[in-house]
Amino acid sequence: MDLKQQWEAILIALAPEISRANLITWFQKTALLGFQEGVLTVGVPREFFLSWHRTNSQEKIRAAASAFLKNIEKVEYVVDGTLDHPGDERIVDILALFPSGELKVRKLPNRAEVKIGGEIVSKMITAKYTLQNFVTGPQNRLAHAACKAVAADPGTAYNPLFIYGGVGLGKTHLLQGTGNEVLEKRPNFVVVYLTAENFVSEIVDAIQKRKVDKVREKYRRIDVLILDDIQFLAGKDRSQEIFFHLFNDLYDAGKQVILSSDRPPTELELTEDRLKSRFTMGMAVDVHFPDYETRLAILRNKAQDFALIVENEVLNFIAYNVHHSVRELEGVLKQIRAQEEFEGVSPTVQSVAKILRKLYKDQDIFGYDEEREVPGIVKSMDDIVERVADFYEVTKSDVLGKARNREFVVPRQVAMYLCKKYLKHSLQRIGFFFGNRDHTSVMHSLAQVAKNRKNDPQFWKDVNSIQKELGF
C-alpha cells in the first residue's frame, strides 16, 4: 500500500467515529505524509486546521491506523500549503469515498408527493428543511419554539400557528421543518404543505370543473395543513371564502393549521374579516433578521452543508456585511463555492469583498478597504496610534486601553481604521495590538467609523487632517 492507499484505509476506519460533515470539512484536503520511527505525519492544508485536529482527530487516527501499522507512538500534523491546490495527487477524494445525500439532514421518507384518495395534493415538502437545522437566536427563537410545540402535539398547542415576517427570514424553512417533524413522529399523518398560490390555483381549477365540494372533502382528510405566504389570498375572494370553511372544518376536528405571511394577521388585506379573526385565535409569532452572532452560526452551519472551508475572519466579514435576509447569507456562500469550483479560488476577505460589491452596489462594505498601497512615512501600527493620540490629545495607552469613554473610543476607532486602511493588517492582528481585542470588535470599530463618516462632517474632517499629517 502506498501512503495514499493507507490514508484511505485510515479514513474508512475512522469514518464511523466522525460526522460526515466534519469529515468533509476537516479531512477534505489532508494527506498522509509519512510514517517513520513511530510517528505518523498527517498533512493539513492550512494553519487553522491544526487546533481542530489536535483536539478531535489525534486519538482516532492513531486507533484507526493501528489496525495495519505497528507501533505507532504518535500522530503529528504538518501544515502543507500545496495541499490546498486543487488536484494535489496525495489527497483522497472524501466526497467520492463517502458519498451520500444531504449533510446533517436526517434521512426522511420522500414526501415530495402526498396522495390522498389517489390524488396528489402536495408536491413541496423537502427533507432539507428541519427544525433541527434551523439556527435560533433572539429574533426567531419564539417562532422556533412554537413550531417545536406544534410538531410535538399537533392540533392542541397552538392552533392555528401563524408565523410572519419579511422575505428570506426562514418562514418556509420553519413551516416545512414542522411538517417534517410531525411526519417523523407520526408517519401515518397526512401532512400537506402548499403555498397560498398553489391553493388558489387549485380552487380556480375546481371552480371551473365544478368540483369545489370534492376539494373540500379531500382537504378534510388532512391532519396538518400548512399554507405558506397567505398574503397571496388578498383579492382572491372566492378562495378566501372556501378557505374559511376549510379552516373551520379542520379546526373543529382538532386538526392543525399552520400559516405564514409577510405581515401580521391584522394587517392582511382580506375581505373575509372572519378569516382574520380566526388567524388570531391561536398563536401569532414573528421572525426578524437575526443578529450578528446568529448570522455567524447560520453561516458556519451552511458552510458545513456546502462542504466549504471558510476561515473565521471571512465568515465574520460576511456576517457583518449582509443586512437583509438569511437567503443572502446563503447566496454569498454559494458564490464562494462557485469561485472555488470554477476558478480554484479559496475564499479570502478580499475575494468575498468582490462578491459583496456585486451584491450591494451602493452600500459601504465594512472591514475591508481596496485603497492604494501603503505610502509614506508610516510603517507600523505604533506610528499610527501615536499620531492619532497626539491629534486628540490623549495618551497612547488611552487609545490602546479598555476605557469606554467617548474621548478614548473615537481615537481608538480612528486608529484601527487607519491601521486597516493603510497597513492592511488582518483584523486579528489589529485586535491583538489594540489591547488583545477580538477581531469582531475591530470590525465593529470600522463600521462605526463608516457610520460617523456619513453623519458627522467634523469627525471626517478630523480624520482627513490626521491622514494628511501621516503623509497619506
CA distances (Å), origin 19, targets 47, 98, 104, 200, 301: 22, 11, 8, 43, 13
Does residue number 168 form part of the binding site for ligand ADP (CB under 6 A)?
A: yes
∠ at Cα 360 (356, 361), nearest 5°? Answer: 115
Q: Which is nearer to ligand ADP, 177 or 431 (CB)?
A: 177
Closest by CA position to 323, among listed 351, 346, 295: 295
Burial class (CB in 10 A: 0-12, 13-18, 19+), 221: middle
The CA distance from 206 to 71, in Å, is 74
CB 10 within 8 A of CB 64: yes
**Residue whose entry in the numeric block shows the C-alpha cell 414526501:** 111
Near ligand ADP by CB under 6 A: residue from 17, 330, 386, 390 = 330
Residue 173 engages ligand ADP in binding (rule: CB under 6 A)? yes
Which residue's CB is nearer to Mg ion, number 123 or number 245? 123
Q: Which neighbouring-strand residues pair with 79? A: 44
Binds 327: which of Mg ion, ligand ADP, none (CB < 5-8 Å by kind): ligand ADP
264-298 residues labelled b (16+ CB within 10 A) or e (exposed): bbeebebebeebbebbeebbbbbbebbeeebbbbb
- Grid coordinates of 213: 365540494
Q: Which is nearer to ligand ADP, 166 or 401 (CB)?
A: 166
Residue 226 DSSP SS3: strand
The span of 38-46, 163-171, 362-370, 444-452 binding ligand ADP (CB under 6 A) equals: 163-171
Near Mg ion by CB under 5 A, which window of 8-16, 24-32, 172-180, 271-279?
A: 172-180
Q: Choose among ligand ADP, Mg ion, none what residue 219 binds, the Cβ cut-off being 5 to 8 Å by kind.
A: none
The residue at minimum Cβ distance from ligand ADP is 170
Kindly tell me which of 152 and 167 has the beta carbon lying closer to ligand ADP: 167
Write the binding mask 133 to 152 for ligand ADP: x where contact by CB under 6 A, - elsewhere: -xx----x------------
Nearer to Mg ion, 177 or 347 (CB): 177
CA distance 65 to 13: 8
Q: Does 327 bind ligand ADP (CB under 6 A)?
A: yes
Site map for ligand ADP, 415-454, x if CB under 6 A? ----------------------------------------
Name the site residues for ligand ADP (rule: CB under 6 A): 129, 134-135, 140, 167-173, 298, 326-327, 330
Name the site residues for Mg ion (rule: CB under 5 A): 171-172
